[in-house]
Each structure stands twice: as structure tokens, then as C-alpha cells.
């Protein structure tokens, strides 16, 4: 079965509409009626839409080893209790001391979720015409059926699964236009925008708006291949970390009012003209307006007629700043070196490796500026556009 053909839904149980169970778009024995569910795919579960609702008379229980034992069938299929991590368990206690547990267990070996219903009474299960399976706790039995649970069980489970899943990163990028963009990662943190390779001119914005900007390999990836909700890594050779970003918009051609380009007077074109070599030679430095405000004094020498300031025009994607990774994360060390400005990658990053970005207090300080001319790295021979 192709995983990407499958979609889960959570539907009301016909005989008890307050409770919900998983159904599948395609015929799938793993989620059907009368089956134990061992193979729920976490990535599919998080896309399910849940209606608001409560836990009915259940309460959330502690994620103890004892509860794992009570929820896991004592069978070869289920395997060893040490293979499982309890994600969520809820409990209902009735007056006659009948206890019902409903739980979701992550199989750490297969990365699949098992969903089980357990009672401290074999008779209660068999009286309801179901098969009772021994658990790893002699006083608890598993009902041989799919799990039904209150809406809040499902919404809590989805929340927990989202936290557990590693982030899948699909692309890595660099964004240092003309190699003159001072503290480019800070600009991205501040503006929450990343810029297309080759797409940072007024002319390319015009071409893009006319649907004619499609000649360049890396720009095509930026515009056509990267999707909303994709996660990317943004590297820059002047930083000892990479940003983890989530794409939140389609490509948009705009004037970036928070990005400033300082130029000398080598060329009178304003704004920059793409095919003019003098224009490129006239670029001294690029930075964000916030950086400029903070370091204003260092730039007073440019405030005369020999220099001009203009905004960048660019094809951008809006991004959410998820965090950053540094050399304590395997992915950072593995993926730090690459050619060109965009590479497709397929890696996963554990959420625990993602560090917080302090949006108000990242470097944004001229003392951290490094000398671009003496910067030596593997891609000095590649023009990063």
C-alpha cells in the first residue's frame, strides 16, 4: 500500500455518536472494524480534522509502565513492552469498580501507533460479544476491536504526535545576494522573508508577474517546487548556525521596504539594472532597516551625494522562524557544505535539536560583521545569487 494514497478520517461511532474512531479512505485492515490497531501512521494522524469535544467521563491518566502493561496485548504481534512509549492514556472508572483504559502507544521500532482498549474484567468484554486478549498485567484484558474514544482523546493525541514527530526538511538554501548581504540570517529573522535565487531585481519581479521568469534552475525550485508548509534550512557561511524555516506563502514579487542596499555612484541607474555590470559593482552592502537603525553611526559616512540607498525588489516567500540548529545537530554538520544556492535534501531533525531564536535580540550588531573579502569556504568559486 502506498502511504500517500491513504487518508484517515475520525468519524462518530454509529452506536455511540459521542465517541469517534479512525476510518480510512481506502480499504485498510489496520483501521477496520473488528481489528486491533497496531499500524496507525503518525504522519497521517496529524492531518485529521477533529471537531471540538470533551473527554466525556474519562480522565487523562499518567503515562506509567504499569499502564503500558495494561494496554499491550500479550501476543507475538504486539511484542515487547520495552518497544513502546505511551503517548496518551485515558481512564473511566465505573461504580462497580470496572475500569476502562484507552491508550495510544508508539512502537519505537516501527514508528507506528497502537490503539488499545483495556478493561480490568475479561467478562465485561466477552459479555459484549468480543474476544478478550490477555495483557501484560494479569488483571487487565484488551478488547479485540478498534478503538473508539471521546473527541478530546483524538485532539490530545494529535497534539502529542505533532510534538513527537521529527521535522522533515526538504531543501537547504543560501540567501546572501551578491555576497553583500550583511548578517543575512538576521535580516530573515527580522523580515520573515527569504529571497529567490536570481530573483532580486525590479526586472525579475516584472518578469515573474508576467509569468515569464522561468529560465533559471534554482529560481524554478524556489518558485515552483517549494510548497507552503515545507520546512527548509537556511545556511550562511558567516554564521555558526542554520535557520529552520517553514514556508508560509506562495512566491510574491515585491519591494522589500525593510531591506536597504547601499550603492556608490559607479552607475546612475536607480534602482539596480540586472544586465548592467556597473550596477552590481556599485553595491557596497545590504542589510535590514533594523540593522541600519542599530548601527546608524557606522553608516553616517555614506549619507552624502556620493552614495545612494535603495530598497531591494525581489521574489520572496514569507516564512515562519521555527528555530535554529548548530553543530550539536548532526544535520547541521552533514549539510553545511553545498554548491549553488538551493539543494533538495531529505532529512529529519529531532525537535529537541532545534534551538530557540530570540527574534528581538539576535546579533544585529556590527561587531559581529565579518570580512566578506577574506571569507574562504568551499563555494568561493560558485557565484551565489
Q: Which residues bind Zn ion (CB under 5 A)?
A: 267, 269, 273, 276, 278-279
* CA dist., res. 241 & res. 332, Å (int): 8
Cα 319 from chain centroid (whole Å): 11
For residue 248 the three cell numbers come to 508560509
* CA dist., res. 296 & res. 290, Å (int): 10
For residue 67 the three cell numbers come to 499502564
- Looking at beta carbons only, is 83 or 278 nearer to Zn ion? 278
Minimum CB separation of residue 261 from Zn ion in Å reads 13
- Looking at beta carbons only, is 81 or 273 nearer to Zn ion? 273
Query: Would you say 100 and 128 are in contact if contact means Cβ atoms under 8 Å apart?
Result: no
- Looking at beta carbons only, is 112 or 266 nearer to Zn ion? 266
- Looking at beta carbons only, is 134 or 277 nearer to Zn ion? 277
Minimum CB separation of residue 156 from Zn ion in Å reads 59
Minimum CB separation of residue 219 from Zn ion in Å reads 21
- Looking at beta carbons only, is 216 or 278 nearer to Zn ion? 278
- Residue 376, CA distances (Å) to 84, 182, 281, 286, 379 in order: 48, 16, 21, 20, 8
Q: Let me know how long the chain is.
A: 385
> Of all residues in this chain, which one has the CB nearest to Zn ion in the complex?
276
Minimum CB separation of residue 257 from Zn ion in Å reads 22
Minimum CB separation of residue 282 from Zn ion in Å reads 7
Minimum CB separation of residue 274 from Zn ion in Å reads 9
Minimum CB separation of residue 295 from Zn ion in Å reads 27
For cell 474484567, the residue is 121
- Looking at beta carbons only, is 220 or 266 nearer to Zn ion? 266
CA-wise closest residue to 38 among 22, 56, 58: 22
- HSE on the CB side for 169, CA within 13 Å? 26
- Looking at beta carbons only, is 31 or 261 nearer to Zn ion? 261
- Looking at beta carbons only, is 108 or 206 nearer to Zn ion? 206
- Looking at beta carbons only, is 203 or 258 nearer to Zn ion? 203
Minimum CB separation of residue 267 from Zn ion in Å reads 3
Minimum CB separation of residue 201 from Zn ion in Å reads 11
Amino acid at each position: 500500500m502506498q502511504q500517500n494514497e491513504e487518508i484517515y478520517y475520525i468519524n462518530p461511532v454509529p452506536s455511540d455518536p459521542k465517541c469517534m474512531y479512525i476510518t480510512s479512505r481506502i480499504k485498510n485492515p489496520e483501521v477496520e472494524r473488528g481489528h486491533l490497531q497496531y499500524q496507525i501512521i503518525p504522519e497521517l494522524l496529524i492531518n485529521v480534522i477533529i471537531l471540538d469535544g470533551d473527554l466525556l467521563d474519562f480522565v487523562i491518566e499518567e503515562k506509567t509502565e504499569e499502564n503500558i502493561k495494561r494496554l499491550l496485548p500479550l501476543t507475538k504481534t504486539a511484542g515487547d513492552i520495552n518497544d513502546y512509549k505511551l503517548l496518551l492514556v485515558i481512564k473511566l472508572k465505573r461504580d462497580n469498580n470496572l475500569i476502562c483504559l484507552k491508550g495510544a502507544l508508539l512502537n519505537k521500532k516501527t514508528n507506528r501507533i497502537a490503539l488499545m482498549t483495556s478493561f480490568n474484567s475479561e467478562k465485561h468484554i466477552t459479555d459484549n460479544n468480543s474476544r478478550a486478549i490477555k495483557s501484560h498485567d494479569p488483571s487487565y484484558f484488551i478488547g479485540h476491536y478498534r478503538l473508539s474514544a471521546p473527541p478530546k482523546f483524538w485532539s490530545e493525541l494529535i497534539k502529542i504526535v505533532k510534538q513527537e514527530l521529527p521535522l522533515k526538511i526538504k531543501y537547504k538554501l543560501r540567501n546572501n545576494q551578491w555576497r553583500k548581504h550583511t548578517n543575512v540570517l538576521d535580516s530573515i529573522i527580522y523580515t520573515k522573508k527569504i529571497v529567490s535565487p536570481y530573483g532580486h531585481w525590479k526586472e525579475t519581479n516584472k518578469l515573474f508577474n508576467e509569468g515569464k521568469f522561468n529560465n533559471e534552475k534554482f529560481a524554478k525550485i524556489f518558485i515552483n517546487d517549494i510548497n507552503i508548509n515545507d520546512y527548509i534550512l537556511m545556511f550562511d557561511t558567516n554564521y555558526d548556525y542554520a535557520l529552520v524555516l517553514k514556508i508560509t506563502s506562495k512566491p510574491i514579487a515585491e519591494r522589500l521596504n525593510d531591506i536597504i542596499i547601499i550603492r556608490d555612484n559607479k552607475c546612475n541607474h536607480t534602482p539596480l539594472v540586472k544586465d548592467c555590470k556597473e550596477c552590481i559593482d556599485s553595491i557596497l552592502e545590504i542589510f535590514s532597516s533594523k540593522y541600519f537603525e542599530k548601527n546608524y553611526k557606522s553608516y553616517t559616512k555614506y549619507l552624502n551625494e556620493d552614495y545612494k540607498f535603495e530598497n531591494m525588489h525581489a521574489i520572496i516567500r514569507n516564512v515562519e522562524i521555527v528555530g535554529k540548529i548548530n553543530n550539536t545537530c548532526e544535520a547541521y554538520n552533514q549539510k553545511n557544505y553545498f554548491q549553488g544556492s538551493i539543494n533538495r535534501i531529505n532529512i529529519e531533525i529531532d525537535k529537541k535539536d532545534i534551538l530557540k531564536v530570540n527574534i528581538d535580540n539576535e546579533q544585529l550588531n556590527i561587531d559581529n560583521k565579518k570580512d566578506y573579502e577574506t571569507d574562504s569556504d568551499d563555494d568561493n568559486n560558485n557565484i551565489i545569487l
